[in-house]
Amino acid sequence: MRPTAQKATLAPNADSDTGATAVLAVWAGNEAYGFPLSAVREILVPPPLTEVPRAARHFLGVISVRGQIITLIDLPKMLNLEVEQTAPYGRVLLIDNGEELIGVAVDRVIQVYRMEPDDIEYASAMSAELSEYVVGVGRVPSESSADAQDMLILIDPVSLLGDR
C-alpha cells in the first residue's frame, strides 16, 4: 500500500535485488546519523520555528514549508542522548515516513554513501540496547583519515511517527 515507506526502510533484506542502499549521512549533536536516501524528500535551510507548548521535549515545534505545517524533531533528544546545544541547527531534512512529512533538525549534511549489507550491523543482531528508532549501525570510510571508519546511527524513517 505504501511503496515509499517500504523502500525507505533499511531493515534487513529490504533491498535484496542490488544489496546496496543509498544513505544520507548527517551530523547532529555529537553523532553521525544515516537516513535512507529514498525517504529524504528535501534538505532545507531552517525556516522560522514555532514551538509547540506541552509537546514532548524532542519535538522542537512546527515549521511551514510552502504552506504545509511540518513537525520538527530533535534527533539526539529523541534518542535520549544528552547534548549541550551549542549552535543552532544548520539544516532541516524532510523525511517521508510513509504517512506524513517529518522535519529532522541536523547540524550539517555530510554526504551520501552507498552501503552494502555487510557495512551494516543490524540492531537485532547487536547485544547493546538500542532505541526503537534505530535500525542499526553502519560503517563508512572516515571523513578525516583514509584508513579509519566512522559509525553512522541508521534511523528507521517509519519509526518517526506518533507521539512517543
Site for another protein in 88-107 (CB under 8 A): 99-100, 102
Burial of residue 162 (CB within 10 Å: 0-12, 13-18, 19+) is: exposed
Query: Which one among 80, 144, 146, 162 touches another protein, defined by CB under 8 A?
Result: 162
In angstroms, how far is CA 141 from the centroid of its own chain? 19
Looking from the CA of 13 toward its CB, the CA atoms found within 13 Å total 0
How many amino acids of this chain bind another protein (CB under 8 A)? 30
Instruction: Kindly state whether residue 47 participates in binding another protein, applying the rule CB under 8 A.
Output: yes
CA distance 50 to 29: 21
Q: How far is the CB of 50 from another protein (least distance, A)?
A: 4
Q: How far is the CB of 45 from another protein (least distance, A)?
A: 11
Smaller CB distance to another protein: residue 69 or 112? 69
CA distance 144 to 148: 8
The residues facing 101 across adjacent strands are: 96
Smaller CB distance to another protein: residue 7 or 139? 7
Query: Which one among 50, 111, 142, 149 touches another protein, defined by CB under 8 A?
Result: 50
70 is written with which cell numbers? 511540518
Binding site for another protein (CB under 8 A): 1-4, 47-48, 50-55, 59, 62-64, 66-71, 73, 99-100, 102, 160-163
